[in-house]
Amino acid sequence: MESGFRAVGADSGTVSEVPTQLYHIRKAAGTKKPISHVVVPKAASLNTGDAFVLTTTSTIYTWYGEECSPFEKNKAVEIATALNAARYGHGEFIVDVGDDVPEFWEALGGGSIADVLPAESVTDVKEMPPSMFILQDEDSQLKVISVDVDKKNLDPTGVCMVDVGTDIIVWIGTDATSREQSQAMASVASYLKSQNREKNTRVARILQGQERRARKVWKKAFP
């Protein structure tokens, strides 16, 4: 599901480049309990039967399909509120954004309400592919940078985090600073909490050179 990394740290010592993410909230099959998935942030990912949360660097939106249930709306607000809290109130928080707000559609890469799919046409949720972040200590500030999922982006001087859905990989470079290493797990905890994924996501801590010890999860990120 991202990124939920803090945009501004509580002590103003952490700065993150937060990518645009879209959370799709829908009822689990056979129940009224809604679950969330991170999906491709585009207008065609929306549908009239579910609720959605869109996050950008500056704004968090909730958007509701006209047929979505109260349970899905409540879950969307819960997720959006957690994401907003993780930013310590920095940025704008818009609940039930109107269909005529151009900034919302621009954040989705363009499009309009005409691109929203009818509820009955959505059978499976297409989740986002793995996402990758580098945590680096620069000028006494911890900076989280979104990068392409590629082994070439593994930086021995920093810490890498890869989200593969069911697991989070925390890869520790051999030359990572002690500050980067100590803050890595705290950053992951904040990330998972913002997405309500603390209870069902495994975290694998892997030291550079010891990737074979976690071959199964490693292949999910780098097949």
Domain containing 158 — which CATH number?
3.40.20.10
Q: Calculate mean pLDDT across residues 18-46.
A: 84
The boundaries of the domain holding residue 97 are 18-121
Q: Which of 96, 121, 146 lies at the terminal end of a domain, its last residue?
A: 121
Distances (CA, A) of 194 to 1, 5, 25, 82, 110: 10, 8, 15, 5, 26
pLDDT over threshold 90, residue 46: yes
* Side chain identity at residue 108, one-letter code: L
Same domain, 107 and 180: no
For 20-29, write each residue's pLDDT tens digit: 889 999 887 7
Same domain, 101 and 24: yes
Q: Is residue 8 part of a domain?
A: no
For 58-94, write each residue's pLDDT tens digit: 899 999 999 999 999 999 999 888 888 776 667 789 9
For 113-132, write each residue's pLDDT tens digit: 999 999 887 766 556 678 89
Q: Is residue 2 part of a domain?
A: no
Same domain, 40 and 58: yes
pTM equals 0.59
Looking at residue 130, what DSSP letter applies? P
Same domain, 108 and 22: yes
pLDDT at position 167 is 86
Greater confidence (146 vs 203) lies with 203
Q: Is residue 184 part of a domain?
A: yes
* DSSP H/E element including 78: helix 70-86
Total number of domains in the chain: 2
Same domain, 116 and 135: no
Q: How far is Cα 205 from Cα 167, in angstroms, rounded to an integer?
A: 11
| Mean pLDDT rounded to a whole number for the chain | 82
* Cross-strand bridge partners of residue 190: none
Same domain, 208 and 137: yes
Q: Is residue 26 part of a domain?
A: yes
